[in-house]
Amino acid sequence: MGGVVKRAFKYRFYPTPGQAEQLIRTFGCVRLVYNRALDARTRVWADEGRASTYVQTSAWLTEWKRSEDLAFLNEVSSVPLQQALRHLQAAFVAFWDKRARYPRFKSKRRSRASAEYTRSAFRWRDGQLTLAKMDQPLNIVWCRTLPEGAEPSTVTVSCDAAGRWFVSLLIEDPTVKPLPAVDARVGVDVGLTSLVTLSTGEKVTNPRHERADRRKLAKAQRELARKDRASNNRAKARLKVAAIHARLTDRRRDHLHKLTTRLVRENQTVVIEDLSVRHMLRNHHLARAISDAAWSELRRMLEYKAAWYGRSLIAIDRWHPSSKTCSACGRINSAMPLSVRSWTCTGCAATHDRDVNAARNILAAGLVDR
């Protein structure tokens, strides 16, 4: 890893009524610009067979601002609108590179309400953050200190479905450096009963956060369903459901952060399976449990933390028969139903725990492919 790591520090803040109104208006304008640009680019491709560029969409934005119908776009900072066009360009690049699906329109209810400000659209002075079009700084709860002398290069403001406001500061963090090299290597097998099983034999129990609050969530959802769609009581009930989901997400993320940090700190090489979680979610019997386990988030955290701290993360082929192979002699069984949790190899008589054996095979396969 070379250079200084760019890292986002996220904090909760409490806007004044005026700030909240301005930000909500900005979120709406960002969403509108993104959707209009996506629609325009799609129509240009359908009608003329050519791809549009970010420069062209930026020119369209200038025209939209001059029109009478969209003159309200001038009431918010122009920077978040330009950033929305840059994000759309990045989405198209990912689509062209076959790393993502075709960009989708942003929904008022389902999409994340956020706006991104670059240096020209905010003022950072003596630990106080003031956004463009605002007269006073944000009331941020500094739950942890920024690195000394840190200067944010980008600020992202967001509001989640539970009505909580957050600000994320992107800074260069000189405190993130490669860790001293160690000899330990570990294979990681993800699961549902045990969130991960390590090649060392350790099993980390799945907290099953969603199951713990399932009854409370179901009750809140029933109350929401009974409310009249146009009533204030429905809005309150919706916030109650969103608050439960937010708590589940926070607890899940906290647990994954602690687990992935430990794995990266203790091991020089971490080997995992290249699972296609999106396809696995098509199994309606296991979709809820797989979503709660958050395997994709686990891998994402391992990837960037390994890069931060000078560790190696290896992903082996998802079709590797890690569960069916004897880690002692290498014999491959013809079948291994999920109901079989332990088995004895007919070749060498070794007895295996299914998950520990799989983790050991994952480690061996990763070291061979390296």
Positive or negative torsion for Cα 283, 286, 292, 294: negative
| 254 is annotated as an active-site residue | no
Cβ atoms of residues 188 and 176 within 8 Å: no
The β-bridge partners of 268 are none
| 97 is annotated as an active-site residue | no
Catalytic residue among 273, 274, 292, 297: 273
Catalytic residue among 116, 210, 292, 355: 355
Interatomic CA distance for residues 171 and 150, integer angstroms: 6
Interatomic CA distance for residues 213 and 134, integer angstroms: 40
| 317 is annotated as an active-site residue | no
Q: Are strands 351-353 and 342-344 parallel, antiparallel or unpaired?
A: antiparallel
Please spell the DSSP secondary structure of 2-44, one letter per residue: -SPEEEEEEEEE---HHHHHHHHHHHHHHHHHHHHHHHHHHHH
Q: Which of 163, 164, 289 is nearest to 214 (CA)?
A: 289
Cβ atoms of residues 205 and 219 within 8 Å: no
Cα angle 279-273-362, degrees, rounded to a multiple of 5: 145
Q: Give the active site residues.
A: 189, 273, 355
